[in-house]
Chain A
Amino acid sequence: MNNEHITLHTQALTAHPYFSFFWDATKKGVLLLPHCTACNKVHWYPRTFCPFCYETKLEWRPSSGDATLYAATALTKASEPYIVAYVELAEGPLMLTNIINASVNNLKIGDALKLSFTALDSGQQLPVFKPA
């Protein structure tokens, strides 16, 4: 599917300018997570408010980089198969992501994972995970 997804990602970032600070942080190897200062919950995917208590005071703190595998699969028909997964971040929420440096056959639900980044041709750094 070529690099259509990179174009779509770029378009999506342009459509959501508020979050440029998030993508600036990924270029420094940091995944920022929104912590609600009112109810202390961490949510994903990011909003500008807490989707649990609806307060707007969020603190964006670097993630620990630790996660466990919730579920994974791979699109076997793709020209270059890739692993799509939900991971459970150590901070709480599930996150849709890709797993790199792994084969889907060797991944087990509950496996420990570590944050990594994939460089996109657009210059963006995409947060992904790899076996710990």
Chain B
Amino acid sequence: MSVKRKDQAYIAGIFEHPTRHAPETSLVQLHAECALGALKDAGLSASDVDGFFGARDIPGSNANWFIDFMNLKLKHIDSTDAGGCSPLIHISHAVDAIASGKCNVALITLAGRPRSEQMKTGTAPRPGEPDRPDSPWEVAYRPTISTAYAMMMARHMHEYGTTAEQLAWIRVAASEHAKHNPHAMFNKPVTVQEVMNSPLVAPPLRRMDCCVISDGGGAIVVVSPAIARSLKNPLIRVIGSGHTVYGQNAGYGNMTTSGAAVSGPIAFNEAGVTAQDFKYASIYDNFTIMVLMQLEDLGFCKKGEGGKFVSDGKLISGQGPLAINTDGGGLCNNHPSNRGGITKLIEATRQLRGTAHPSVQVKNCDLAMACGPGGFIGTGYAHATVVLERV
């Protein structure tokens, strides 16, 4: 039985840090600037915050040190980490905490400096801790983020006839959106041919199938209804959420389906909506294939027909039934800390407020969603979906 979220909590503040390269600052400073930016957007102060939500991207791997650094006086903390989708989980935890009276002003931050740290996010094997259960069985084979998604792409092409050209359209749409975003890391439009001619990273995956490696971050402030109504911003609330860990089922997994097939229906059922109700969606775009698979698994099109759904510019705002990632997404705009969760929530909120760039703003956008994966595809792979509405 789903329980409809009623007048429980609202998104009062959002902030996306304008930097994409921050060699001269520190990680904690980025978190602080994001926090203060979102609080300013809400019309609140850090002294109003009584709940904090943050993941392992916070220095120290949990929130303790950052809370002390900010000198926050809290009643509720949540250091849930599920990889890049963590903020998509934090926001529903924040709503629940406010609804149950644990706190009234919840702050969520995410930040990172992988570009300044010259991290090879996709192409260097990312070893887990030795005691992680998959380590004895996988680390010696040197899988990387790019080899994992390359195999998903190869398998989807094999099973459904999806083509590199169809996937390239996802990057083209992102670049057409990013050209309106002065902060985007890449804001020059690209063509299908340019995507298909970009260097191979791990065949069939090419460089332009991959998201950016950027410094930066973002923050979100969620508040109780009474506080939201005392502030100036439009009332945006969470009406559905779902989380899962979509593992490899002990050797019987399916590489052409994403965790959105689990978290999406949970969130949509709670909200009482279907995919066809959305005109805007933030779909975590770490790789082009992940966008296509999530769109299929959420029900925007039938399984295997994602290639047709994303082709010919149909994902560009104003050119099809659904616009996605109108900030330029992770593919062209921003992917701070190698984690896409917060930027996905921020652009969905902009769309609902009507404050996206006028060239990409979806008309009368009163329903939106944000979703994405977290962790490592295969052995430790989470997924979260959130449905948002403007009241």
Contacts and interface: CB of A to CB of B under 8 A. Distances in A.
A108 to B, nearest CB: 9
Contact of B142 (A5, A11, A42, A76): A5
Contacts of B137: 44-46, 96
A95 interface: yes
Nearest to B140: A9
B150 A13 contact: no
Give chain B's interface residue range (CB within 8 Å of chain A). Answer: 35 or more
A84 B252 contact: no
A72 B141 contact: no
B45 interface: no
Interface of B: 123-125, 127, 130-144, 146-147, 150-152, 154-155, 158, 200-205, 248, 250-253, 255, 378-379
A73 B136 contact: no
Given A13-B136, A14-B130, A73-B150, A1 B124 contact: yes
Nearest to B251: A93
B135 A96 contact: no
A73 B205 contact: yes
Interface in A82-132: 82, 84-86, 89, 92-98, 104-105, 109, 120, 124, 126, 128
Contact of B130 (A11, A52, A82): A11
A51 interface: yes
Return the 8 tightest CB-CB contacts between A and B, nearest first. Answer: A93-B251, A12-B135, A73-B150, A45-B137, A44-B251, A71-B151, A11-B130, A9-B140
Contact of A8 (B123, B130, B255): B130
Contact of A51 (B125, B127, B140, B250): B250
Contacts, number: 137
Contact of B250 (A13, A44, A85, A97): A44
Contact of B152 (A47, A71, A74, A77): A71
B156 to A, nearest CB: 9
Given A15-B131, A15-B135, A109 B158 contact: yes
B155 A6 contact: no
Given A45-B133, A71-B152, A77 B142 contact: no
Given A93-B250, A93-B251, A73 B151 contact: yes
Contacts of B132: 12
B141 A94 contact: no
B315 to A, nearest CB: 25
Contacts of B133: 16, 45, 47
A74 B131 CA distance: 27
A35 interface: no
Contacts of B125: 1, 4-5
A72 B150 CA distance: 8
Contacts of A85: 151
A85 B147 CA distance: 8
